Structure 1
Amino acid sequence: MKAVAEPGNNTMGAVCALSAILCFSFVDLGIKLLSEGYALHQVVFLRSLVSLTFFLAVILPLGGGWSVLRTRRPGAHLLRGAFIVCANVCLFLGLAALPIADAVAIFFVSPLAIAVMSVIFLGETVGPRRWAAIVLGLVGVLLIVQPGTEAFQAASLLPAISALLYGAMHMVTRRVRTTESATTMTFYVIITFLVSSAIIGLFIGDGRYEGGPHPALEFLLRAWAPVTRADMWIILMLGVAGVMGSWLISQAYRLSEAAFAAPFEYAAMPISIFWGVAFFDTWPQLNAWAGIVLIVGSGLYMLWRESAAGRPKPRYRR
């Protein structure tokens, strides 16, 4: 007999999904706000310290205690952590250089990237309709990126690379999900962020390479700087929102049907447009609006096809 989610569970799943997307949007906004005054590795390191503290104090006790941190797949956790760290770096650098709505829209080719990778690496089947959706999503990206024109920015490739790296991370997740819990995977991702940002900071945190002409390079190579009290609140928000977003999105798909919860993730688009207008006075241009419609539409169609085929939808965010 096929299990059907209770209406009450679906409602709670929707609340969790929307809350998770709001958390992730706060992360995007916070990174964008801090990108003009601090180094990326400094922000990530401080955010990871906050995330680890919150994880140990709140998430770990709720997730089963210290025993869940034992793992039989350390190599897989290392590989998964490397993918997600690199994906976040690319997305955050893109946020530093692009309007926030454009960067988020390009990143939402993640479902399409995962579908292609599932064919290549997992031997799954993608029908002609889903291939058509993939092509439309890529057309949407091209409309925003505008390669070959004067409006093209190399930084617009960063969210697309981030989406590919997230897809690779989910390929690893599919391999280990039967033996590793979400709490376990979350912990090792936080540790990977903490260690990698500390190492990068030790090598370039003195600013020896800063002064790049591009906002993304400047964000990457800037020297560590004293954190103001106001900005410390943003970093605290980044750490807590990131962990809570990951936990809430897991709750959303645990409580409700994937086909019901998945479309709520696309609430990130209007929220990112709102942040762009409210904080940075930027509206998407006409070509970006067309690209957003194609990317979101193709992504929603892919999610619908996944649910119709009875496949669980992976979690696309950090």
Structure 2
Amino acid sequence: MTAPASSRLGIYCMLGGMFLISINDMLIKSLSGGYSLHQLVLMRSLVGVFFTLFMLKMEGGFAVLRTGRPGLHLLRALLIVFANTSLYAAIVSMPLATATALYFASPLFVTLLSIPVLGERVGPRRFAAVGIGFAGVLTMMAPQLAGKGDIGWVMILPVMAAAGYACMAVLTRKLGATSRASALAIHLQVAFVIVSLGVWAVAGDGRFAEGTDNESVRFLLRAWVWPETGDLAAIAGLGVMSAVVGYLMTQAYRLSRASTVAPFEYVLLLYSLFWGWSIFGEWPEPTVFIGAAVIIAAGVYVFMREDRVKATRRT
């Protein structure tokens, strides 16, 4: 039995969104040797704001920005800034696929956070799947944290990013009932701009990066420089992709059931493996593949089980 046309289109949107995210991550890592993270984020977000304003206009203009929950919107925006900063600080110090695999813990965090924030009920089967998924996370992290590798504490950064993203996602569910997608998108872009300008004001001269050889710390705190002409196209592309990815992801979940499209997010690991191998000559440790398989299996089960539970409650 073939899937409806709308579901197929939703899957295509998800696959396209994941492909663009992988290119975004690859470009960030490629540019990390010469630029500060927040300089790249600022330039990307300025382009992103430009495109997001068009979406805002189509959905009613600046009037849709009015909200009775400014505190939650602010918290949501800061959470995605935290998540992105943690993830991008990680990918400069480890293979892209390793960071991506650890980041896949985010659906597990979403399941746990949906209990106190959204008041959802999570049964013993999903709790067990979440526990198994986190065991997969530990499988990937244990050799490094035990001192058998040279990445060390940086392995924690993608997990922190996953937790931050999950908090943001749960708040998006809560706020999305009364706020337009364009309003939610513009809040994030503006937050990136404001935080990046703040980092520039405090650390833009690079003085806090002096004396450290940790690539993640240097990426966060190195001095801001005027972009090379040859890098401008890539930097502008980051901004365009951030806007397009937001649209594709929204369309994916609008056109298809979450349990149908969400598992296709895991194709990002294949894209990351390809870019890491072909561009940077990276290949993850065997434990990464084992842990990733456990996390993906647990995540897919959580998606499927959640959809089945919701369907049962509607009948």
Interval of TM-score (by shorter of Structure 1 and Structure 2): over 0.9
Q: What is the TM-score when the length of structure 2 is the normalising length? A: 0.92
Structure 1 residue 38: deviation in Å? 0.5
Percentage of matched positions with identical amino acids: 38
Moved more, 38-47 or 114-123: 114-123
Q: Show structure 1 runs of 4+ deviating over 6 A.
A: none
Report the secondary structure of 1:223's partner residue: coil
Matches within 5 A, 1:87-236: 87-146=83-142, 147-151=145-149, 153-211=152-210, 212-236=212-236
Structure 1-normalised TM-score?
0.91
Once residues 83 and 205 of structure 2 are traced to their aligned partners in structure 1, the CA distance between those partners, rounded to angstroms, is: 24
CA distance in 1, matches of 2:179, 2:119: 22
Q: 2:83·2:164 contact (CA, 8 Å) conserved in 1?
A: yes
Check whether the contact 2:67–2:179 (CA below 8 A) recurs between aligned residues: yes
| TM-superposition CA deviations, 1:125-172 (whole Å, max 9, x none) | 222221221122112111211232322521110010011111211232
Aligned to 1:32: 29
Following superposition, the deviation at residue 41 of structure 1 comes to 1.2
Deviation at 1:226, TM superposition (A): 1.8
Give the Cα separation in 2 of the matches to 1:73 and 1:118: 19
Partner of 2:12: 15
1:267 and 2:267 matched: yes
Deviation at 1:71, TM superposition (A): 2.9
C-alpha deviation, 1:121, in angstroms: 3.4
- The Cα shift of 1:18 comes to 0.9
CA distance in 1, matches of 2:302, 2:234: 35
**CA-CA distance at 1:270 after TM superposition:** 0.4
Q: Which consecutive residues of structure 1, in runs of 5 or more, have no partner in the other structure?
A: 1-5, 312-318
- Structure 2 distance, partners of 1:22, 1:59, is 22
Partner amino acid for 1:45?
L
- In structure 2, the CA distance between the partners of 1:240 and 1:92, relative to structure 1 (3 Å rule), is same
Look up the equivalent residue of 1:162 and give its one-letter code. Answer: A
| Equivalent residue for 1:59, pick from 55, 59, 62 | 55
Which is further off, 173-182 or 196-205? 173-182
**Whole-Å Cα distance in 1 between the matches of residues 47 and 287 of structure 2?**
38
Distance 2:173 2:8 in 1: 27
User: Which region of structure 1 is more displaced relative to structure 2, 45-54 or 132-141?
Assistant: 132-141
Give 1 or 2: higher helix fraction.
2
Is the deviation greater in 198-207 or in 63-72? 63-72
Count of residues in correspondence between the two structures: 306
1:47-105, CA deviations, whole angstroms, 9 ceiling, x for partnerless residues? 1111111222x433444434333333322211110111111100110111111000011
Distance 2:106 2:71 in 1: 24
Q: Is the 8 Å Cα contact of residues 52 and 182 (structure 2) preserved in structure 1?
A: no
C-alpha contact 2:13 2:251 (8 A) present in aligned 1: yes
The one-letter code of the counterpart of 1:38 is Y
Matching residue's letter, 2:126: R
Q: Give, in whole Å, the separation in 1 of the partners of 2:67 and 2:22.
A: 31
Residues 247-302 of structure 1: CA distance to partner in whole angstroms, max 9, x if unpaired? Answer: 11111111112221111111101001001011111112211110111111111111
Matched residue of 2:19: which SS? helix
SS of the residue corresponding to residue 213 of structure 2 reads: coil
Distance 2:66 2:88 in 1: 31
